[in-house]
Structure 1
């Protein structure tokens, strides 16, 4: 090879080498320890493991993975193609670990994304345009979101192949021959990577073909169409079985859980959103941002006045206009206004997510920028450098995602631990490919353990009276010799699905799914037999392979007999640019590549407004409301953000909490948030929502002190919540015991300035009621939160009002008062309460249509008589009316004599109660770790009280740490202290679950009473906040 040819070769490959280096910042989050914390990276890693095991067994394109769903099998590869996973397997077969192979595959995909976009951009706008397009596409928000937030390996590969499809279609139109074969391969590779992208790309492909026909001649259009048709044949082995056999899996699960197009349109506001700044890898769940290529479009808009001469060429303007047209159409298909179009295009609906079009808008935006920045005259190096630097700097917030631990050499043990039946199975989120015959998942515990210890474990379960010996095979192709004393039914622990075949003594026999697990059931007669079980072809699969074979013949023919790659026919020129703009100097390539790497390294080491470390030992920097509230020594609330106020009662209320674990917890806590008034009464609806950009975070059991978590909520005030001042109440509930941990904290300040005014139906459970104050106020409805209660229990009464006239027109000088009475059927009063309606919203400010709500929380006195009682309401001095609600008060079975008590205490907690004593099981007070302890406390009431005190029982270790606990109202929440009568004895049984890792030694069982609102414990006469019951020995 001559020096001249070496230089020519180097000049040809230099742009691609530069681009491979330029994408390193985008791929780098996959290197080092672990992976970026994504939605799908781990499922794809484990799916690659399943594929690798099958490939090593000689199954080159599997339909069924026998190792998934804890060894019961799953047809994931029949419906989710494995081309991207093959890339990982190929790297893995070369020697690296599977996780290293995944990193190499993702890096290759990003490099392919840049290189294929460069080819298309160079074809349309010259070498400089190709470079700009490549980097604008790779560093676009959606491509980075796909790679580093979703971790969608399949879609990332498909998006990398889309530019290659357009490039090869254009070349096929111009040159024909082998370029038709190239377009066929590109067309087939996209759906074999990610079918939804192949559906969505058909729209810009149609626009592109129309442009090719107009610009190069309609008589040439058969060439790209032939390539697309040949591509359809090449992938027939996948799409024919996938479309015909989808009826046999439970895909409706995805639709029922919101994984469908109607729930995934995006408003324009979300499309122009920017990620949370600064990016901080310590934040476990930064908000999800899926946006348009805003920076590329902004740069193009800024450059347009300066580069307008580059658009003087009609051909150049048409190409830029073509890209802009694709961008606008794809953007429109993401917006809710395109819903009618989606409703009528059933094929488009199969792509599930309208926001997936962001991948195509990102490519179109990159090409628009390429068109603006290119032209007959080469763009100077400095402006080009500024464009490239701006694209990379704009991508910085996406390049530093949170990380998660990943096994370097995953095994089936990791896969089985990762799967969480019934939904998170088979490396899919919802189990949507579970066969329809599986109505109930079997107990997978036994097979799961067998699979961990022996990946080749036998799947056949012999019936009684049948002796089975496996002779050869794997779960997909197993042979047995068996002896049956009598006819029997064998169960093969794989789910029934088309393709399973069973032969008995060389002859096919019928099989059926078991009920309700859907496992293979095989009937065998008595005697000695040879049984062969295998998974094979079905008619659709056979037809698909036959058509793919025809496509391969056509492909090979084109490659052998077609014209050479560079043999153009006479026709319109491909080039718009002079020779000087079709190549980039090596020095310029080196400068641009080096600048990208230097900028990335600087941002990686220096805190900036785009990337910074915000979690410090002192707290969280940058949070609007910084706090340091500890919850039971487990979690710390670092701060919060809230809705700007004042607000209307109709407005959504946004609250974001920032949490950090104080130590590794190992326990799952749920955060409970409510809007409360000055009296602590709750004023929000039952279940808070999450904002649309919320990103799921793992449970607190896996939190570590060096990370922090965003916990955002969208709360709604109750219909008719009156204007006034509110706050937020935050508490923790332990998920396994449902116990509130420690006490709650009140944070924030929310001012509601305007009430709700629009007309709306009454909320569920509210009954219309006729109660008014003349022309001023009318009761729309009322509700009592319970129809049965016991003495001491709380009852919440609600009345919804609407103002009929302006308060300024009324003679009232103060807000009306509401009096609620609970009376017996004979009219004897039981309890009475009076409160003002909307006390913090002066009557003079009332407007017609104002909806105002009164919420009254009552506790039935301990002496409330049993029976059916009625509610009466009265406004000021008006005549009282009977509300359409009754309250049935049940009679309590009170106990006045204490039982026999093994432990006598007589510990007083004045003025509420005396702890007479306790019984403990086991009575020996000697237990083993993980053995429960049952404690029965005997309380004697000393007075009627208005506070419902909580009982706590703690098992405390020698170091003072709580090892086990049970908190709550007495007698499993059935006997609040507000219902105790003086002299009454209340028995309170509690079971403490001692953890399995509790160390041997002596532990102390203590108890007491505390006020739930403040956490303040009642003191004994000795001034102690706890009562020591007995010592417990763990041995």
Structure 2
């Protein structure tokens, strides 16, 4: 009786409680926790952009403290001269962090919680979207694939572009709600579609620009598919009903655009007052940052903790791609659900298109489509690529859909495999200890040279041709009031995000320059009376006329007409959203076909919790698994270690060359490992040049304004920097071996800090290898065991003979040999000679690439009145003057080890 009672009780519990929640939704929370777990450490990861976004969040919060609800300017930015950052950069990340900071201990904790919510967006959003298309098991694998994509760790712990990180987490939510809205218009789906799209627009400018076309195509495609299915069903819908659904979808897009107009309308309308065009030129040109297809397919390497910027390839990950391939093949599997197959085809097409846009072959598209040049980095297409590749990875579970006993093991193994495949990225370096105060922000801007928290001062006004040398605000928050104001004394009595107040004493009327940049929206008052403002010539600061005497000056940054219109449109967007919502039904009848399987959810949840516990309690504190620690003065990942010192200030610890032989028209990748031996007070540029010959003649090369994009003045002497160079090999570059000349120099003065020739050479091979059949006169002669003379070409011109020898090395040659070319008469007397190293000294025999046919030209003078009979050719060692043994094709020796060429 007791057993029966227990069984019945368990059945009641399962029936009454567990089915109320999808068992994989708690797993999504655990995935987010595992992804964000390293952020539980004090401080913030030492990333390129992480501190930038944290301080922007703090600036937004400080603006709220000053009573500014929607800041567009902040007087603290750009060393206290002010900057319209928030008028042009999407602010949702900073809004969320600032709002959470009211509930949490400080802005840093709020910032980390915001990132956790983004991690949850990845897993839960992808799961819900994929669940509508695939099975639950496939959907949770897709969620793992999307959450643990290689790019997540690049953004979270190494690059720190947290606004982009948040934006990409919204992609599946937008598709989920718009798909639901297309299938069944309801209040929940409409509000979800509007808010998710508006949130994306308010999060990251470039991400929404790249995702927008994908969303439009998806909406059109899914609407067509659902309409066709509805018409063909027994309870087919009529045309007005279908048109109504289309109107609701369009309405959702319009409402989302209206809601977010408060940001994007002024950003577009007032960009003409900025230098935003610099983001499409020079270093920021997309042509400078294309990926290589090998990089897309590269494995994920172990990272060195002693590298400032451990090289992480822009890759998909091998295991991820394996599941993608398996999932793509399910397209050809018999299925009763055409919509599922259609989604997979759509995902495959989107994945291939995204990969194409990251490769150099796509440059014409980047050049022809408006605005997308502002993307700067084609690798940002990974946002869309991982969205679709993750759906395909989840679909791989479909191969066991007909085998119930295999579904759980395959789901668990697939999920764990995806997590473990990126284990090398889950142990970031120790974090930066930091404080987030206004004074710390002033120090940060100066120390990291990130004026305005932007990379190219792109939002600086168009009236500024020369930026003031000295900062307007100091770490103690004391301020300069005026610049170059002779006869005028002034002090700043109050400084807030959008306003300044000054006390001015002028001995006579004067035009003064306030230490704040001008921008449309600034208004001024002197003793309560409005006064006109204008940009100062050259500096672009705020200029105004001051009467003689003591005066109170007030400056306030206010809305321009376009900003006022934007606010009005956003308010109308809220009203329109509420109006449409009130007319839609509230009932949601969409159901997921398969029943809840709590066993599967619990099994995967326990596995994820086990990984988390193992990582936190054992692997992290007690092992060196998945990590590398180079000793001081050594770069363990370097293919070729060196001990070169440049200018007594910087050491070259090693270098990599890939490939060692590159064809004409190809590309050479050289990676340098630099380490500063002391703090550097100048910013140096690095170079890698391919040189040849005794005079080191330049043929091709690469220069980097900032090695590894990190100014050398900010290098930490205890860490090394990985500096990548990609050198395009000209199609007409001679097919010889080149030396690699590397060094550092000051870009402004072009003064070199120092340079060195690397021991390793690089072979350039012909784009189209020469074939033996193309040799004019064939001749098989072997020298030693490693060199063959395959033939020759003769051309008599005036009083000379042009001889071209066709050499081939069978294997690597260990010494440099000389070629002798002797012109003799019938009695064997020497008439003339043309001895010397092969290819005029440009291609030493010790550097010959095995198998390459090498053209070696010699010009032989013919003495007047002489009667040449033959040319003797051979090789000798200049140090010993001994000739290399020469053999005929039948193995017999040539006399005096000299091959005889006749017939002229």
TM-score normalised to the size of structure 1?
A: 0.66
Partner of 1:239: 264
CA distance in 2, matches of 1:425, 1:154: 18
Query: Any idea what the Cα deviations from partners look like across 1:377-420, whole Å, max 9, x if unmatched?
Result: 75632111110111112222333445563514354344344347
> Match for 2:594 among 578, 582, 595?
578
- Partners of 1:42 and 1:459 in 2: CA distance: 28
1:180 equivalent in structure 2 = 190
Report how far residue 567 of structure 1 moved.
3.6
Equivalent residues in 2 for 1:447-596 (5 A)? Answer: 447-449=472-474, 452-454=475-477, 457=479, 459-460=481-482, 463-464=485-486, 474=496, 476-479=498-501, 484=506, 486-526=508-548, 531-558=553-580, 562-564=584-586, 566-568=587-589, 574-575=590-591, 577-580=593-596, 585-596=600-611
Q: Return closer, same or farther for 1:163/1:728 CA change in 2, 3 Å cut-off.
A: closer
Q: Residue by residue, what CA displacement relative to the aligned partner does 1:158-177 show, whole Å, maximum 9, x if unpaired?
A: 11111111111122231322
- The structure 1 residue matched to 2:702, chosen from 688, 703, 710, is 688
Give the 5 Å matches for 1:1018-1033.
none
Structure 1 position 228 matched with structure 2 position 253: yes
Tell me the residue number matched to 1:994: none
Deviation at 1:284, TM superposition (A): 2.5
Aligned equivalent of 1:418, options 445, 457, 464: 445
Shift of 1:197: 1.3
Alpha-carbon deviations, 1:844-874, whole Å to 9, x = none? Answer: x9xxx999999xxxxxxxxxxxxxxxxxxx9
Q: Is the 8 A contact 1:677 1:683 kept in 2?
A: yes
State the secondary structure of the residue aligned to 2:545. Answer: strand
Report if the CA contact (8 A) 1:235-1:548 is conserved: yes
Q: 2:219 aligns with which of 166, 187, 209?
A: 209
Note if 1:613 corresponds to 2:618: no
The verdict on how the C-alpha distance between 1:221 and 1:264 changes in structure 2, with shifts beyond 3 A counting, is farther
Relative distance call for 1:203 and 1:625 in structure 2 (3 A) is same
- Tell me, yes or no, if structure 1 residue 286 matches structure 2 residue 298: no
Q: Which residue of 2 aligns with 1:703?
A: 716
- Cα gap change, 1:320 to 1:576, in 2 (>3 Å): farther
Q: 1:272 to 1:630 in 2, by over 3 A?
A: same
- Of residues 391-400 and 720-729 in structure 1, the stretch that sits farther from structure 2 once superposed is 720-729
1:146 corresponding residue in structure 2: 155
Q: Distance in 2 between matches of 1:474 and 1:690?
A: 40
- Please state how far the C-alpha of 1:293 moved relative to its aligned partner: 6.3
Q: In the alignment, which residue of structure 1 is the partner of 2:419?
A: 392
CA distance in 1, matches of 2:730, 2:365: 37
- One of 190, 195, 199 as aligned partner of 2:200: 190
Looking at structure 2, the residues matched to 210 and 201 of structure 1 have their Cα atoms a distance apart, in angstroms, of 15
CA contact (8 A) 1:279 1:400 kept: no
Q: Bigger CA drift: 533-542 or 471-480?
A: 471-480
Structure 1: unaligned runs, 5 residues or longer: 569-573, 759-772, 779-802, 818-833, 855-873, 880-1035
Q: Residue 665 of structure 1 contacts residue 703 of structure 1 at CA under 8 Å; is this kept in 2?
A: no
Conservation of the 8 A alpha-carbon contact between 2:803 and 2:860:
no
Partner residue, 2:349: 325
Q: CA deviation at 1:671?
A: 6.7
Q: 1:196 to 1:619 in 2, by over 3 A?
A: closer
- The 2-side partners of 1:517 and 1:728 are apart by 44
SS at match of 2:421: helix
Name the residue aligned to 2:465.
439
Q: Distance in 2 between matches of 1:842 and 1:619?
A: 31
What's the offset of the Cα at 1:622?
5.8
Distance in 1 separating the partners of 2:162 and 2:386 = 17
Match of 1:259 in 2: 284
Tell whether the 8 Å contact from 2:806 to 2:854 is kept in structure 1 after alignment: no
Q: CA separation in 1, counterparts of 2:614 and 2:453?
A: 37
* Correspondence 1:18-417 to 2 at 5 A: 18-32=27-41, 34-173=43-182, 174-217=184-227, 218-219=242-243, 220-275=245-300, 277-292=301-316, 295-302=319-326, 311-374=335-398, 375=401, 380-402=407-429, 405-417=432-444
Structure 1 residue 665, shift from structure 2 partner: 7.9
* Cα distance, 1:691 vs structure 2: 13
Aligned pair count? Answer: 785
Q: Distance in 2 between matches of 1:756 and 1:86?
A: 58
* Structure 2 match to 1:656: 671
* Aligned CA-pair RMSD: 4.7
User: Once structures 1 and 2 are overlaid, which stretch shifts more, 354-363 or 70-79?
Assistant: 354-363
**Are 1:207 and 1:326, in contact at CA under 8 Å, matched by a contact in 2?**
no
- For the 8 Å contact 1:419–1:426, the answer to whether it is kept is no
What is the distance in 1 between the residues matched to 2:302 and 2:452?
36
Relative to 1, partners in 2 of residues 1:733 and 1:236: Cα closer, same or farther, differing over 3 Å? Answer: closer
TM-superposed CA distance for 1:62, in Å, is 0.7
2:875 corresponding residue in structure 1: none
Which of these residues, 454, 464, 469, is aligned with residue 428 of structure 1?
Answer: 454
Separation in 2, partners of 1:578, 1:304: 22
Q: Are the structure 2 counterparts of residues 544 and 615 from structure 1 closer, same or farther at C-alpha, using a change threshold of 3 Å? A: same
Contact 2:50 2:161 in 1 (8 A): yes
CA deviation after TM superposition for structure 1 residue 440, in Å: 0.5
Structure with bigger helix share is 2
**Shift, 1:553, TM fit:** 1.6
Deviation at 1:210, TM superposition (A): 2.1
**Kept after mapping to 1: 8 A contact 2:68/2:497:** no
Measure the CA separation in 1 of the matches of 2:520 and 2:551: 24
Query: Structure 1 pair 205/732, CA: closer, same or farther in 2 (3 Å)?
Result: closer
What are the superposed Cα offsets for residues 612-640 of structure 1, whole Å, 9 maximum, x if unpaired? 32524795556444455677987665444
Partner of 1:886: none
Contact 2:71–2:497, Cα closer than 8 Å, also in 1: no
Question: Where does 1:738-887 land on structure 2 (aligned, <5 Å)?
Answer: 747-749=759-761, 806-807=804-805, 814=820, 838-839=840-841
Higher RCO, 1 or 2 (CA under 8 Å, sep at least 6)? 2
Tell me the CA shift for residue 282 of structure 1: 2.6
Partner of residue 955, structure 1 = none
Shift in alpha-carbon separation, 1:685–1:725, aligned structure 2, 3 A: closer
Change (3 A) 1:535 1:841: closer
Question: C-alpha separation between the residues in 1 aligned to 2:839 and 2:361?
Answer: 43
**Which structure 2 residue ranges, 5 or more long, are not aligned?**
1-11, 228-241, 771-792, 808-817, 824-835, 865-904
Match in the other structure for 2:884: none
Q: Is the 8 A contact 1:674 1:682 kept in 2?
A: no
Distance 1:466 1:548, change over 3 A: same
Report if aligned partners of 2:527, 2:552 keep a CA contact under 8 Å in 1: yes
Residue in 2 that maps onto 1:858: none
TM-superposed deviation, 1:50: 1.9
